[in-house]
């Protein structure tokens, strides 16, 4: 899933937002911010009538996560991809259940999925898996007013400029009559429809399959899946190619090589002792395709060769566990078999401890990415470099032993 935000009020006005004794002052500050958005809306071709109708009586929702209001503790929006272990997130029981439902839906929408694949090159199983992961095949209830969400995030969120674009795009959607305001529901982050598009994404990737002049991602399964296919094609999806191959790495494999910057052809990886673990055969035509290796649980779970389609999926949602979930579920819809190697139960290092590790790695020149408390591929590769430099056992994994060493233990 994809998010955004902007703010242009002074600190005193912000403090008034949370002061229970001064609600009128807070509303006035928000109203001034809304009024200031009209020139940009006008430049996008949004009518004055639409702007006034949709902003009249609009109020911010300060209960949302991810806001940045001075004097008020931040309420982060937790994503399962970053707070669950791989074993929990990639639950075989849950995936098997979704796969069973997915096979029934694949039969129900066989004609539509075939037409979408012909137009965009993305298999129906991938689209169904995204639908499952995003809204549980439409079962998840999206109860937020999308315009109110993006307006709030644009006003007092942590990514104000990005959400300002989403606010204007939401107004554009309403101005063009794609959906009624009462039906334009979203998640707390502003993502809309069966496969969760931000307003800017809807305007860019929406597909009108039935010729009625609108792309209905809210209640039309084919048009929601077509929008998803449109996005994936734009992000580099290669028709007829796999999303990933589960593999085993040779004994003594240097885990610092398991990151996106290290790429070889599939043929070269095989020459270095990598083996496909699940019995699949790499077609001769794919042997020259470039790929990298990822080990999401380090030595405690499966490893994967990740060609271009893996990263096309990652542009839908940046989390590696999300991509693995979608790709594996798509495989299970087509052929129901689990990962060749199971995910072991592991203890996650606390976010504040991972942030400390990233700070140490940055100071020592091993890491140059964002300090975010997440053990992504770049962080794990940097940890491996630290382990090698300090004579520690090499597994590229953020465990208590590495943390103790960094603290001088």
Burial letters 161-195, b for 16+ CB under 10 A, else e = ebbbbbbbbbbbbbbeebbeeeebbbbbbbbbbbb
The per-type count for the chain, helices as H runs and strands as E runs, is 19, 7
* Pick from 365, 341, 332, 301: nearest CA to 95: 332
Tell me 345's DSSP state.
P
Output the CA–CA distances (angstroms, integers) from residue 289 to 324, 330, 405, in the order listed. Answer: 20, 21, 40
Residue 7 has pLDDT above 50, yes or no: no
pTM, full prediction? 0.89
Q: What tens digit of pLDDT does each residue of 188-207 get?
A: 999 999 999 999 999 999 99
Residue 8 has pLDDT above 60, yes or no: no
Tell me 158's DSSP state.
S
Residue 13 has pLDDT above 60, yes or no: no
Residues paired with residue 276 on neighbouring β-strands, in sequence order: 247
**Tokens 């529901």 belong to residue:** 185
- Name the token pair of 172: 């554009």
CA–CA gap between residue 349 and residue 366 (Å, rounded): 19
Q: Using 50, 70 and 90 to split pLDDT, how confident is the model at 85?
A: confident
**Tokens 């964002």 belong to residue:** 370
CB atoms within 10 A of CB 219: 12
298: CB partners within 8 A, 6+ apart: 255, 380, 395, 396, 397
* Pick from 60, 16, 11: nearest CA to 34: 60
CA 157 to the chain's CA centroid: 18
Are the beta carbons of 207 and 146 closer than 8 angstroms? no
- Name the token pair of 239: 């028709």
Q: What tens digit of pLDDT does each residue of 43-80 get?
A: 999 999 999 999 999 999 999 998 988 766 666 555 56
**How far from each other are the two terminal CA atoms of the chain, in whole angstroms?**
39
CA 379 to the chain's CA centroid: 18
Q: What number is the average pLDDT over the span 347-373?
A: 93
Q: What tens digit of pLDDT does each residue of 371-394 get?
A: 999 888 899 999 999 999 999 999
> Long-range contacts: 375-381, Cβ < 8 Å, 24+?
375/348, 375/349, 376/320, 377/258, 377/259, 377/260, 377/294, 377/320, 378/259, 379/354, 380/255, 380/258, 380/259, 380/295, 380/298, 381/255, 381/256, 381/257, 381/258, 381/259
Supply the Cα-derived Rg of the chain in whole angstroms.
Answer: 23
Residue 20 has pLDDT above 90, yes or no: no
Return the pLDDT at 233. 98
Are the beta carbons of 372 and 357 closer than 8 angstroms? no
Q: Is 65 helix (H, G, I), strand (E, B) or coil?
A: coil
CA–CA gap between residue 293 and residue 249 (Å, rounded): 9
CA 170 to the chain's CA centroid: 20
Return the pLDDT at 68. 83
- To the nearest whole number, what is the mean pLDDT of the chain? 90
Residue 21 has pLDDT above 60, yes or no: no
CB atoms within 10 A of CB 344: 13
Output the CA–CA distances (angstroms, integers) from residue 33 to 7, 39, 59, 163, 316, in the order listed. Answer: 8, 12, 11, 14, 31
């Amino acid at each position: 899933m994809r998010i955004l935000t902007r703010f242009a009020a002074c600190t005193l006005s912000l403090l008034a937002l949370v002061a229970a004794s001064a609600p009128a002052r807070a509303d006035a500050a928000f109203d001034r911010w809304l009024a200031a958005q009209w020139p940009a809306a006008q430049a996008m071709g949004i009518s004055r009538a639409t702007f006034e109708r949709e902003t009249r009586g609009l109020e911010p929702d300060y209960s949302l996560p991810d806001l940045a209001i001075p004097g008020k503790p931040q309420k982060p929006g937790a994503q399962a991809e970053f707070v669950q272990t791989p074993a929990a997130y990639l639950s075989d029981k849950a995936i098997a259940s979704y796969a069973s439902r997915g096979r029934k839906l694949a039969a129900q929408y066989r004609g539509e999925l075939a037409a979408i694949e012909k137009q965009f090159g993305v298999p129906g199983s991938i689209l169904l898996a995204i639908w499952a992961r995003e809204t549980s095949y439409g079962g998840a209830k999206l109860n937020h007013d999308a315009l109110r969400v993006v307006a709030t995030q644009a006003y007092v969120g942590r990514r104000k400029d990005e959400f300002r674009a989403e606010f204007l795009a939401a107004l554009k959607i309403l101005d063009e009559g794609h959906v009624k305001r009462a039906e334009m529901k979203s998640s707390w982050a502003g993502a809309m429809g069966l496969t969760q598009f931000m307003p800017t994404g809807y305007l860019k990737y929406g597909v009108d399959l039935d010729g009625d002049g609108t792309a209905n991602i809210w209640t039309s399964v084919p048009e929601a899946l077509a929008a998803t296919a449109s996005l994936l094609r734009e992000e580099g999806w290669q028709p007829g190619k796999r999303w990933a191959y589960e593999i085993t790495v040779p004994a003594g494999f240097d885990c610092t090589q398991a990151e996106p910057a290290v790429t070889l052809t599939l043929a070269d990886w095989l020459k270095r002792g990598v083996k496909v673990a699940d019995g699949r055969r790499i077609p001769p035509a794919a042997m020259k395709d470039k790929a990298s290796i990822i080990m999401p649980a380090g030595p405690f779970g499966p490893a994967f060769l990740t060609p271009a389609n893996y990263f096309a999926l990652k542009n839908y949602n940046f989390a590696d566990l999300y991509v693995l979930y979608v790709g594996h579920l798509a495989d299970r819809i087509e052929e129901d078999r689990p990962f060749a190697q199971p995910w072991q139960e592991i203890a996650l290092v606390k976010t504040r401890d991972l942030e400390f590790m990233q700070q140490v790695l940055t100071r020592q020149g091993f890491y140059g990415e964002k300090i975010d408390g997440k053990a992504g591929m770049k962080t794990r590769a940097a940890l491996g470099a630290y382990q090698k430099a300090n004579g520690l056992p090499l597994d590229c994994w953020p465990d208590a032993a590495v943390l103790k060493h960094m603290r001088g233990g």
